[in-house]
Structure 1
Amino acid sequence: MKELDVIDSRRVPGLAGLYLARLPGGDTGPLSGEGERLVEFVDTVEPGVPKTEKWVLMVSTQLGCPVGCAMCDAGAMGFHGDLSAREMLAQVRRVLDDNPDLDPASHPKLKIHFARMGEPSLNPAVLEALELLAAEFPFPGLMPSLSTVAPAAPAAAEFMEKLIAVKDRHYSGGKFQLQFSLHATEAADRRELVPVPVWDLAAIAAYGRRFVKPGDRKITLNFALPEGAALGTGTIREFFDPSLFLVKVTPVNPTWRAGLTGTAYVWNEVPPELASAAAALEGAGFDVILSPSAPEEIEAATSCGQLWAAAMKERASAGHARAAGAPGGASRLPFDRSHCALLVVDMQRFFLDEDSPAYMPGAAAALAKAAELARAFRRAGRPVFFTVHAHEDPEKDGGLMTRKWKKVCLAGTPAAQVSPELDPREGEVFVKNRYSAFTNPALERRLRELGVDSLVVAGVKTDLCVESTVRAAFDLGFSCLVAADAAAAARDGQHRASLAAMARGFAAVGTTGAIIGELAVEKNEVLSGV
C-alpha cells in the first residue's frame, strides 16, 4: 500500500513546491463528510540562499494539531490523529524524488523540519521517524529540526527525554536543531498565544542544560511577537544561558487564524524597539536572529502557521466552528432556507478603519467572509440587512452605552457607514444605539413583512452586539445560524466563548463556505451547526 498519494501540488519557481497528500486509512476518518486523511508538506529554501547550499523540507507529523496556537491555521483544524513514522518519511522521499538534479548524499545542508502540521512532541512516532531517517539517509549534510511549544503533558515529557538519546545516538556534533516556540516570556501572554499548559521557563532552561552537549547546536528560543508585545529581555537573561540558547524573533504571519485573533504582525524592516531589545541581548552574550517577513514566502504560503491548499483552509474554517461548541452541543433549531435572511451586525467604518479609535485588526478577515455571504444571499434572491451602531446625540440617546464605552460613533459621519465591500443598498441598513439589532423595532417589522423566520448572522463584536442580537432574535422566534468566520471579537478567547454560549442555547454555528453551500438545499431541514 502506498504511504501517501499526492492529490494536488503547486510550484513557486525559485522558492517552493507545495504538496497536498492523501494518506491511507481515511474512509471513516474523524471529520464528518471529510474522512480523507490529508496533510501538507513543503519543499522550500531560505530566501536569498541557493537551494544547492541549503535545502529545507517541512514535514507534517499530525492531522491538524491539538495545540491550537492563536496564529496557526493547522491548529484551527483541531486534532484528528497522528502520522506514522513511515508516513513522515514518505513525505521526504517524495520531495527528494522530485529533485533529481540535487544529490542528498552530497548536499551540504539538507534540513528536515518537523513543523508543517502538528506538535511533534505529542506523537511518539516522530522519534521512530528520526531513527529511520538516520538509517535511510546517512548523509553528512542531513540535519533534522524539530519545533515544539513544550506541552506540559506526560507524553510530551517522555518524548523529550527520549529525544536526547536519539539526538546523541544519531545527530551529535551540530546535526540536530531544536526550537522551543515560546512567543512570550510572561506566562499570561504565552497562554493567550499557546492555549495549552506548557513548561515554564525554568523547566525549559533545565532541559537545555541536559540536551546540549559539546559541539551541538544551541537551542533556539523562538518568539513570534504580536504588535506591541515586548521581547522580555530581562526574563530571557534571568533564565537562559547564552552558551546553550539563542534567540530568534519572527513576525506573526497573516494566517487566517491570526486574522481572527488579531495577532498578525508583519514587518519587513526590524522595528526600532525590537532592534534595541536584540542589542541588549547581544550585549549579554546571546546570538540573536531577527527574521523579517519575506513577502514571497507569505504569498506562496510556505511560512509557519500557513496552509496553502483550499481543502485544508476549509477544514481550518470548519474546525474553528466546531471548536466553538456547535457540534453535539448546539440547540437543534428549525432553519428554513426559503424564509431566511442575512443580518450583518455593525460592519461599519468605526470598527474597520485603521485610523478609527475603535479599530479592530481581527475584523478584516471576518469582513471578507461577510462580503462572500452577502453576494451569495443576493444571488439566491434572499434579503440582506445591515446594522450600524451610531448616536444622534450621545447625551440624549447614549444611556448606559456611552457611560460604559467612551469611544462613540456619531450618526451621519463616515464612521457610521457600512463598509462598501458589503455593497449596502437602500432600505437595507438599520441604525441602532444599543447592543441588539432588535432595539430598532423597524428591523423586526421588516423581517415579518418579508416572511423571514430564520437568520444567518455575522458581524462584530461577536461577544457584544452579535450575541445580544442572536439572543433577542431567539426570544422573538427567529432561528439563527451564526457564521463563525464572518464574525470577530477583540480577542479570540472572547470570540470562541461567545460562539460556544450561542451554540449552547440560542443558535447553530457554521462556516461561510458551508452556509453558502447550504443555500440551495430544500427548506425546513433541521440544523445543528453546518
Structure 2
Amino acid sequence: MSIPSLTDYSMPTTESLPANKVNWSLEPAKAVLLIHDMQDYFLKFYPHDSRLIRQLIENIDTLKTFCRQHEIPVVYTAQPDNQSPRDRALLNDMWGAGVNDHAGLKKICAALTPDSHDTVLVKWRYSAFQRSILENMMKELGRDQLIICGIYGHIGCMITAVDAFMRDIKPFMVADAIADFSEQDHRMALNYVATRAGTVISTTAIVESGEKRSQLTLAQLKAQLLSAIDENEDDFDADENLVDYGLDSVQMMSMVNDWRKQGIEINFAELAKNPSLNAWWKLIGEKQAG
C-alpha cells in the first residue's frame, strides 16, 4: 500500500526523448517553474546516495538558476504532515498515511531549499492545481507556460501536466529533471505528455533557449514608441525628435532596460544623442548585428 523501495536507473538522454506532437517554444516571460514534491519523504525510497537523485537535484538546481536569471517565478509543492482522513481520503487506500507518519521528512530536500521569494503550495492530490492557487497565480502574472520537474514522473508530474493542458496552460516536462519508480514508468510519462498533453524537453534545451534572443523589429520599435507618446501613426514622423513628441527620460530608461533583457546592450546617452525612430533603429540594428 505504501511506496515501494526504488532502484537507480539512467536518466534519459536528449537523443532518446520522444518526438513532441506540438512545436511550442519556451518563452521565459510566460513561464513558471514547478518543483514538484521534492520532499525528503519521497526521496527516502531511493537508495542512499542514489546516482539518479544526485543528477535530478543537480538538474533542478540548474533550472532554478536559469529561472532566477530570467525572472521566472519558482513554485514548489509539498504534502503536509497533518492531513485529516477527509483531506487525504482515497490517498489512504492507495498509498497509506504518507507524510503523516513521517513528519520529520516533510521538508523540501536541503539542496533545493526554497528561497524567500519562492512560492510553496500545499499539495493535496496528484495534480498541483487541485485545491491550490496555482492557476489563479499564473493568470495574475500573465503566464501560461509551466515547466515541470521533480517526482514522481508518472504520477504527480504527468497528471499536473495533463491538468495544465486542460486549463490552456502549456506544460513543459523536463525529461532529465524528473525521477520515477522505474525507467519504464519514466518513459511512459514522457511519451504520454509528448503525444497527448504538452512538450518534453531537456534541461540543456531550456538553458539554451534563454541564450537565443529574439530580434527586435522595426515594427515592434515603432509600436513601442507610439504607445509611449500616445501618437497616431498617420501623424508620426520617423525622423522627428521624440522628445518633442513628449517622450521623457523615464520612458527612455524603461526601454533601455527592456531591450537589455533581449540582449541589446544600449545606454541612455546613445539614445539621447539623436532621439528619433530612424536614428534609434539604425543604432539598434548595429547592436543586434554585433
Q: TM-score per shorter chain, which class?
A: 0.5 to 0.7
Equivalent residue for 1:510, pick from 180, 201, 214: 201
SS, match of residue 98 in structure 2: coil
The whole-number CA distance in structure 2 between the counterparts of 1:346 and 1:411 is: 16
Q: Aligned residue for 1:53?
A: none
Q: Aligned residue for 1:414?
A: 104
CA RMSD of aligned residues (A): 2.7
Q: Aligned residue for 2:218?
A: none
Shift of 1:346: 0.6
Shift of 1:455: 1.3
Matched, 1:317 2:13: yes
Equivalent position amino acid for 1:319 in 2: E
Equivalent residue for 1:401, pick from 69, 91, 106: 91
The whole-number CA distance in structure 2 between the counterparts of 1:375 and 1:420 is: 16
The whole-number CA distance in structure 2 between the counterparts of 1:479 and 1:502 is: 11
Whether contact under 8 Å (2:121, 2:132) holds in the other structure is: no
Matched, 1:445 2:136: yes
Shift of 1:412: 9.6
The whole-number CA distance in structure 2 between the counterparts of 1:421 and 1:228 is: 21
Matched, 1:493 2:184: yes
> Kindly tell me: are residues 500 and 428 of structure 1, through their superposed partners in 2, closer, same or farther at Cα, counting changes over 3 Å?
same
Q: Aligned residue for 2:61?
A: 371
Shift of 1:259: 4.5
> Kindly tell me: are residues 387 and 411 of structure 1, through their superposed partners in 2, closer, same or farther at Cα, counting changes over 3 Å?
farther
Query: Which consecutive residues of structure 1, in runs of 5 or more, have no partner in the other structure?
Result: 1-226, 230-256, 261-315, 524-530
Post-superposition CA distance 1:37-79 (Å, at most 9, x none): xxxxxxxxxxxxxxxxxxxxxxxxxxxxxxxxxxxxxxxxxxx
The whole-number CA distance in structure 1 between the counterparts of 2:103 and 2:188 is: 32
1:106-505 equivalences under 5 Å are: 258-260=9-11, 317-320=13-16, 322=17, 325=18, 327=19, 329-333=20-24, 335-353=26-44, 358-359=45-46, 361=50, 362-410=52-100, 413-426=103-116, 427-505=118-196
Give the alignment's TM-score, normalised by structure 1: 0.36
Shift of 1:348: 1.0
Q: Which has the higher contact order (CA 8 A, sep 6+)?
A: 2
Q: Percent identity?
A: 24
The whole-number CA distance in structure 1 between the counterparts of 2:155 and 2:113 is: 24
Whether contact under 8 Å (1:350, 1:359) holds in the other structure is: no
The whole-number CA distance in structure 2 between the counterparts of 1:497 and 1:412 is: 29
| Bigger Rg over Cα | 1
Shift of 1:411: 9.8
Equivalent position amino acid for 1:408 in 2: G
Q: Which has the higher helix share?
A: 2
> Kindly tell me: are residues 411 and 430 of structure 1, through their superposed partners in 2, closer, same or farther at Cα, counting changes over 3 Å?
farther
> Kindly tell me: are residues 473 and 456 of structure 1, through their superposed partners in 2, closer, same or farther at Cα, counting changes over 3 Å?
same
Q: Which has the higher strand share?
A: 1
The whole-number CA distance in structure 2 between the counterparts of 1:317 and 1:364 is: 16
Shift of 1:317: 2.4
Q: Aligned residue for 2:219?
A: none
Post-superposition CA distance 1:278-322 (Å, at most 9, x none): xxxxxxxxxxxxxxxxxxxxxxxxxxxxxxxxxxxxxx72123x2
